[in-house]
Amino acid sequence: MTNDTMQGRFITFEGGEGVGKSTNIEFAAHWLHERGFEVIVTREPGGTEIAERIRNDLLKAHHGETMQPLTELLLVFAARAQHLLQVIKPALERGAWVLCDRFTDSTIAYQGYGRGLDKTTIHALKELVQQGLEPDLTILLDAPLDVGMGRAQRRGQSAGEETDRFEVEQRAFFERVQQGFQALAASEARFRIVDASQPLADVQTHVVMLLEEWV
C-alpha cells in the first residue's frame, strides 16, 4: 500500500515479556528514518513526564499495600490520556509515524485476561480516552512463554534491575496474558503476528515486510 509521506501512521508493538519489542521498535524506527519519515518512538505506560511517573512510581513499584486491579486499570488509562494528548495525537497530526511499545491491547491482555477485570469496563474506558483512535497496524511479537520469560529474566539479571510488580507474577498470570494477545490477534484485522522465537534477523525481515505495506 502506498501512502502520502505526510500522512501519520500509528504502529504498535505488542507481546508478552522478553519477546523483543524494544529491540524491534528501534530497528523499525531506524528503517523508517532512512526513508525520510519523521518517527516518534514511545511507550506505554509512559511517554510523557506525568505518564512516566505513573508508570515508575505507582504501576511498577512495590507498595506496602496491595494495588487493586481496578486501581491499576484506572492508572493505566490516566497515563494513556496524557500520552495521547501530549505526544501521540500531535505527532500524527503533523504527519509523523508513531511507534509505540504497548498500547490498549496490552491493557486488555494484562488487566482483562491477566487480572480478570470486566472487559466491558476496559472498553468503556478505551472509548472515553481514545475517542475512536486505533493503531493502523499492530505487530504482535509472539514466542513460547518459556522463551520470553527466560529472555526477560536474563535481561534483568545482566542489567542488575530489581523485579517490578508485574515480573513477580506467577506463570498462570502470563499464560492468561498470552491467551489474551492471541484472542485479540484472531479478532482484530490490524494485527500481524511475528514469530519472535526466530533468529533476530528473521524477525526483522518480517517486520520490514509489514512496514513496506504502509510506506
Q: Kindly state whether residue 1 falls inside one of the protein's structural domains.
A: no
- Give the total number of structural domains in the chain: 1
CATH number of the domain where residue 134 is located: 3.40.50.300
Tell me if 3 is assigned to some domain: no
- Entry pTM: 0.90
- How confident is the prediction along the chain (215 residues), in pLDDT tens digits per residue? 334 446 899 999 999 988 999 999 999 999 999 999 999 999 999 999 999 999 999 998 888 899 999 999 999 999 999 999 999 999 999 999 999 999 999 999 999 999 999 999 999 999 999 999 999 999 999 999 988 777 767 765 665 666 666 767 788 999 999 999 999 999 999 999 999 999 999 999 999 999 999 99
User: Cα separation of 23 and 199, whole Å?
Assistant: 13
Are the C-beta atoms of 136 and 214 separated by less than 8 Å? yes
Print the domain residue range for 181.
9-212
Q: Quick check: is 4 in a domain?
A: no
Domain-embedded: residue 23 = yes
What DSSP string runs through the chain? ----TTS-EEEEEE-STTS-HHHHHHHHHHHHHHTT--EEEEESS-SSHHHHHIIIIIISS--SSPPPHHHHHHHHHHHHHHHIIIIIHHHHHTT-EEEEE--HHHHIIIIIIIT---HHHHHHHHHHHHTT---SEEEEEE--HHHHHHHHHHHHHHHTPPP-TTTTS-HHHHHHHHHHHHHHHHH-TTEEEEETTS-HHHHHHHHHHHHHTT-
The reply to whether 66 falls in a domain is: yes
Classify residue 2: in a domain, yes or no. Answer: no
Instruction: Work out whether strand 137-142 and strand 39-43 pair parallel, antiparallel, or are unpaired.
Output: unpaired
